[in-house]
Structure formats: structure tokens, C-alpha cells
Amino acid sequence: MTNASSSTKGQGSAPAFYNNPHIRAVFYQILLVAALGYFLLTIIGNTLANMEARGIKTGFDFLTTTAGFDILMSLIPYDASYTYLDTFYVGLLNTVLVSAIGIVLATIVGFIMGVAYFSPNWLIRKASVVYVETFRNIPLLLQVFFWYFAVLAALPNARNSLNLGDAFFLNIRGLYLPKPLEEPGAMVVYVAMAVAVVGTWFFVRYAKKKQDLEGTQLPTFRISLAILLGLPILATLVMGVPFHLEYPELKGFNFRGGITIIPELMALAIALTIYTGAFIAEAVRAGIQSVPKGQTEAARSIGLKDSKIMKLIIVPQAMRVIVPLLNSEYQSLVKNSTLATAIGYPDLFTVFVGTSLNQTGQAIEIVFMTIAVYFAVNMTISFCMNWFNRRVALVERK
Amino acid sequence: MTKTTTGAMGTQARVFEPSPAQPAPVTSTGAYAWLRENLFSGWLNSLVTIGVVALLMTLLPPLFNWLFFDANLSGSTQADCTGDGACWVFIKVWLQPLLYGSYPTESLWRVNLSLVLLFGTLASPFWLPKHLRNKVDIAMLLALPFIAIIILDGRLLGLDYVATDYWGGFALNLFLAAASIILGMPLGFLWALGRRSQMPMARSICVILIEFFRGTPVLALFFMGSVMLPLFFPEGTNVDKLLRVWIVLTLFMAGYMAEVYRGGFAAIPQGQYEAADALGLSFWQTTLLVILPQVIKVSMPNILATAVMLFKNTTFLMIIGIFEVLSTAQNALTNSNWLGGFSTEAYLFVAVVYWVCCFSMSSVAAHIERKLDTSHRS
């Protein structure tokens, strides 16, 4: 028997079916799917049984019922008589607001601190290192608490507000700013702004074409700036300044009028900015360092000015490294904005997963709706950054 | 300076003798040059330097006064904080809860023993004999969370039982982070392997798992762990709160690690697989003996960065009511005997403790990165 089997092997017959990788792959996958299916069925079965035992309803009917609770801050009209779906929108907008503020400010702070690492001044260089290493290594929640409970809670009360030119007031209840109100004719200014943006776009295209064809360079940046600022200012003046400012005023114990920025929003935005700014600074530093020194030397040897070297040689190549990192930092900023719930800023998480879930008990629907929102926001960011990367950052030789 | 010598043949050869080098000008060496180059290289630079120094001069003395000179250290009640400076008495009184939570004082040695075991295991590559390292290390690491649980829980060893409700403080942050990193790393490797697999079902399942745990805010994951996970278990089972948190953190870590490993896999040249095939190694032999060590090595800086992130994220647990360090600090701040507004002291203490841990891990990561970086830049 042993002889026979070894001789058949020697003749090079097909291996046993269970050694065929394709058959094995199919077998493993069937096994995997079966295990997964069993797992999911058990979970779903348990969940349904548990929910029935606890008397939890299922489905999305709750969205149209009245929520019955107030929300601290809302960008759209809202009061306790609105539905749970409205609480979802209010929370969503507040999340988008704090994320947008955080992304813009963190990018500015991050780029300044990242470039500061290459300053000729030793103190500035060290300041950049100290900033990055300090704030990157302290938990974000702790920073949120620090700004909210230690810094903003130490501000004076409304009567003793910090006052800047009787227009800006800062006190324990928040930051009060003057609010521009439109008068008839404001529309013209908005139209002028839109025209300026479109005009700049066409001008930049024209300038680029001209340079490609004739080699002459126009002062693109200055002219664009002139169009962007000049047209709206001109329109404003021509229309006789169709705006007036509504100043916040102290009435009784509190300020009325103007724009109010609640301390929860301030603390969260400051903490997100400083924390994410440290990571962005690190990304910027890594990006600039990733450009080989030979690039600078080659640029100098063909006679480019230092400012041109930065703009034409270093930045485009550094952006290749920076943009993907920025993408993930922005996404983690959006995810980290859920920490709002720790200080009570009414973002999607606080309002919807916090209060609405507590009142309705419909954990599965609410949690999945919320997660879907964060996925959608992050995919939008990812899409924009990838587009930006293709258009601007990835300058490849054709 | 050239001497003229007369050779044997009467020809004259001139030997060049360089004159001794002049000392470098004062302006280009030593402290003076350093100052000139780094602080006063131009009028703008000098202005910045003066501005920054002036700012530091105004900010630092009050800060140091508050931190050290006017600070209060002696005493044990709020009334002992009389000076204008920081009230370190607060930290002194609350030190044990901050570090250990409400774990019984007479059993604290168990927490300390577990910490020693943890750091001993992490440092084992340095003290284990070389031939044992690969065999013992991984087994020790993987067993560590369970050993620590047995020691802390105490029932199996015949010690006093300490329920998980009493576990807390900074030690809990450390243990939870360590336990989920230790289990999340192999799990993440498995997911990363699945993502590279040729089998479409395995691949899609792994992609969904990875993207789900990476894309969901960690706070939402914690909420799912505390609100939804209990619904998944059969009716009547009561799964421990910390165990649920541990599961969530492990899965979270695995998702991020899988992405880190993906970068590592991309750095392994195809030749490594081909060489392993040529030697007749099986899939698992190739993966575990040839590819895994290289992937770990290449992605070590990112692994450490992810570990630091997870460690920082353990503070988020206070929101779902776990008594970790930040939650203990918040508790102390609302204690009726300590309502004097010591939030700055409390946060500073937690920040320093965290900073020391995270900064040392980041430094190790940066060191490894520099060591592995063989490019010629700047």
C-alpha cells in the first residue's frame, strides 16, 4: 500500500482535493460566513428578546414625536415643542459649527507653529517644540476641562465684564460680539462679493494662460487681492454702507443683543484648536523636512529667490506629505468634538445620544443615526482633501 | 615660509610648511557666535528675541511664585491653604484616590505588584537571556492582562475580593490601556491579514470591521459598549462594566492597528515573500517568521503613536462613569470639604502625570524613527 501510494505521487498526479488552495479558500469562507451568521443571529435574537423584556420600542416613529426639552444653543429655530428629528438637526448643526471653527483655527495655528520650527530664531524654534510636545501629550478631555472649569469659569460676572471698546464683552456667561444687521441695499454688496470671487477665478486662469504662452508673469496675488477686497468695499461705499452694528448691552444681569458665544462653545473650540494644532504643526514640520535639501540647492542654483523657492519648490512637495496627514487630523477633530458632551455643549452627541436617547430609550436607532452622521462628515472631509490633493498638492511630472 | 634644502645632487627642493592657523574670529565661535546666529541675526530677529524674553520675564516669575514659592504643602485641610500660591495640599490629600481610585488601602500592594509585573514584562527584552526572548516574551505579554486581573480581583488567589467598582485612578487608565493594546495588536494584525487576503468574503468583513472602528468616534463606541452591548448578551447576563470597556477598547485599538500594519505591509519588498516561498515555508510560517517581525519593526513609531492615543483616550471613560483619574479629579473638586476652586491644581497634576508617560513613549517612537531613517535629508 505504501509503495503504491508513493509511486502514484511520483507520477505527478493531482494533489488531494483538500490541498487545493481554491477549494480551501471556498471552504474557509463558508466557515467564516457561517460563524458570522450564527454570531449575528444570536446577537439579534438576544437584542430583540432584551428589548421586549425592557419594553423598548423599535423603529423610527419617535423622530416625529415632540421632544419636550430645551437646548442651550441652536442655529435654527427650536424650542421644547419641536420633534426629536429637530433635535437631531440642531445637534448636527452645532457639531458642524464647532468642527468648522476648530478646523479653520487649528489649521492656522498648526501652520504657524509648524513653520516656526524652521525659524532662524532659537527662541521661536524652541517655542514651537514646546508647544507641540506639551499639548500633543495631554489628553484632550483634560484640556477641555482646563479651559472650561479653570480658565473660563474664572472670568468676571456680567457687571465686571472684560470690555473692548464697548463692542466686545467677555464674561463668565460667554463672549458678546456686535452683530451686523443688513439694511436695504445689502444685496448689492453680496452680489459684488460673488462677482469678485468669480472675477478672480477668471483672472487667475487668464494670468496662467498668459504665462504659459508668453512667459510674462503678472502680479497675480496682488491683483486678485485687489479684486477680492476692492469690489465689495466699493459696493459698500456706493450703497452708503447698508449695514449697521447691533452692540451687546448690559441690561439687568445679562447682556442683550449682538452675537453671543457660549462658554461651552469657546472652551471646546479652544481645546480642539490647540490640541489638533499641535498635531498639524507636527505634520507641517514633517512635510517640510521631507523635501530633500537638494531641491532647495538646485532651486538656488537656477537663480530663484528664496520666496519663490518656498512657493514653487518646497510647498508643493511638502503638501504631498502634509495633505494626507491633515485629512486624518481633521477627521479626528470631528470625532473628538463629541467631547462636547463632557461640558454640555449641545452638539449632536450631547443632544441626540445624550438627552434624546435617555428619553426614548431607542439606543440602536439613535446610535446608528449618529455614527452614520460622523461617517458622512468624515467621508466629505476625506473627499474634499483627496480632491485638493489631486488638484494642488500632487504636482507630478507629466 | 618655505625652507630651501640642498639635495644630494645639488638640486634645490622647496618644502611647503603651512603657517600655524589663526584662531577663528571671536564673532564666529563660542557663545557669542551662537547668540549672534540664533538670536540676533538681523534687526527683526533681535526684536523678536527681545520681545519673547520680555514676555517670559513678565510671565515666568508669577508662574514660579504660584507653583513653588507661594504654594502650600503642609497641612491636610483646605484651611491650610493660606498663601496666594497653588494648594498642593489638595493633591497630597487626594493622591491615593487619584492614583488608585477607591481600591482598599490594605490591598494596594496588589495594584503595585501588577504595575511592577506590567513594567517588568515591558522591560523584559532588556533583562531576559537572549535565547528566551522570542519564546517567553510574547507569552508573558499575552498572559499579563489575565494575571493582573486575577491579582486585582483576588478571588482565585484566596485574597480579599475587590469588585471592579473599586478599581480606579490612574492605575486603571494604565491597566486598561495596556490590556487593550496587548490584545488589540494581534487582533489588528489578523484584521490586516484579512484585508490583504485573496478571499473576498474575509476581505470585506475585515474592511468593514476596520473602517467601523476607525470611523466611529471613540465616545460613541463607549456608549455602544455601555448602552447597546448589554442588549447583545442573553437576557439576564450581567457583564461587568470594565470588561465591556475592555472589549470596546481592544476592538478600537485593533482597528487602528490594522491600518498601521497596512502601512508596514506596504514597506515589505515582494522578494521577502518569494524568498520564503523558495525555502518552502508555509503561509503561516512566512507570515509569522518572515513578514510579521519586519512589519512590526517598520511600523513601530506608528504603533507607539497609536498606543499613546489610546492611552490618552482612556480619560474619555469618565463620561460613561468609570472612575479613572480624571473622573476622580472631578469628584475631588466637587467634594464639600474642598470647594475652594482647586481645578487648576488638579488638572495640572493629571496633566503632568499623563505628559510624563506620553512624552516618554513619543520620545521612544521618535528615537526608533530616527534609527530606522536611512534617507539623506536636510
Does residue A19 have a pLDDT over 90?
A: no
- Which of these, A91, A93, A88, A103, lies nearest to A381 by C-alpha position? A103
Domain extent listing, chain A = 16-54, 84-173+265-393, 179-246
pLDDT tens digit string along A117-149?
988 888 999 999 999 999 999 999 999 999 998
Q: What is the pLDDT of residue B11?
A: 63
**Can you tell me the distance from the alpha carbon of B77 to that of B71, in angstroms, rounded to the nearest whole number?**
14
Please count the structural domains in chain B.
1
Q: What pLDDT shows up at residue A38?
A: 93
Q: What is the pLDDT of residues A264-320, one digit of tens each?
A: 999 999 999 999 999 999 999 999 988 888 998 999 999 998 888 888 888 888 888
In a domain, B51, yes or no: no
Q: What is the pLDDT of residues A198-251, one digit of tens each?
A: 999 999 899 888 888 888 877 888 888 888 888 888 888 888 777 778 888 777
Which residue, among A336, A352, A333, A293, has the nearest Cα to A317 in the 3D structure? A293
In this predicted model, which residue has the larger pLDDT, B121 or A158? B121
**pLDDT score at A10:** 47
Nearest alpha carbon to residue A283 among A334, A318, A333, A332: A318
Q: How far is A130 from chain B (nearest CA, A)?
A: 11
All residue ranges of chain B with pLDDT < 70 are 1-11, 374-378
The residue of chain B nearest to residue A42, with distances taken between CA atoms, is B232
Closest-CA distance, B148 to chain A, in angstroms, reads: 25
pLDDT band (50, 70, 90) for residue A12: low
Q: Output the pLDDT for position A48.
A: 84
- Would you call A150 and B312 a contact, using CB atoms and an 8 Å cutoff? no
Q: What is the dihedral angle through the alpha carbons of B159, B165, B169, B170, rounded to the nearest 10 degrees? A: 80
Predicted confidence (pLDDT) per residue in A325-347, tens digit: 999 999 999 999 999 999 989 99
CA quadruple A355, A359, A363, A369: dihedral sign: negative
Q: CB contact, 8 Å: A376 with chain B?
A: no
* Cβ contacts of B352 within 8 Å, gap of 6 or more: none
d(CA B191, CA B252): 12
Between helix B169-196 and helix B88-100 the angle, nearest 10°, is: 50
pLDDT at A7: 44
pLDDT of residue B378: 47
Q: Which amino acid is located at A55 in the chain?
A: G
Amino acid (one-letter) located at A265: L
Question: Rounded to an integer, what distance in angstroms lies between the CA atom of residue B11 and that of residue B4?
Answer: 10
Q: The CATH number of the domain where B204 resides is what?
A: 1.10.3720.10
Q: Regarding the domain delimited by A84-173+265-393, which CATH topology (the fold level of the hierarchy) does it fall under?
A: MetI-like fold (1.10.3720)
Residue A3 clears pLDDT 50, i.e. is over it: no
Grid cell of A356 as nine digits: 434624546
How high is the ipTM of this complex? 0.87
Residue A363 pLDDT grade (very low, low, confident, very high; cuts 50, 70, 90): confident
Residue B323 to residue B173: CA distance in whole angstroms? 9
Give the span between the Cα atoms of B125 and B187, in whole angstroms: 22
- Contact map slice: A 351-370 vs B, CB within 8 A: 353, 357, 363-364, 367, 370
Instruction: Count the alpha carbons within 13 Å of B214 in the hemisphere toward its beta carbon.
Output: 21
Output the pLDDT for position B375: 63
Determine, for residues A121 and B39 on separate chains, whether the beta-carbon distance falls below 8 Å: yes
Contact B257, B184 (CB under 8 A): yes
Strand A168-171 and strand A174-177: the pairing is antiparallel
Averaged confidence pLDDT in chain A:
86
Distance CA B38, CA B34 (A): 6
Model confidence band, residue A2 (pLDDT cutoffs 50, 70, 90): very low
Verify whether the Cβ–Cβ distance B362 to A136 is below 8 Å.
Answer: yes
The reported pLDDT for the residue numbered A1 is 40
Chain B nearest CA to A183, separation (Å): 43
The residue range of the domain holding B346 is 88-103+162-372
Q: Which residues of B touch A154 (CB under 8 A)?
A: 341
Contact: B377, A133; criterion CB under 8 Å: no
What span, in angstroms and rounded, lies between the C-alpha atoms of B169 and B176? 11
Give A105's pLDDT tier (boundaries 50, 70, 90).
very high
Domain for residue B219, yes or no?
A: yes
User: Is A33 close to B216, i.e. CB distance below 8 A?
Assistant: no
DSSP B319: G
Flag whether residue A295 sits within 8 Å of chain B, measured between CB atoms: no
The rounded distance, in Å, linking the Cα atoms of B203 and B197 is 6
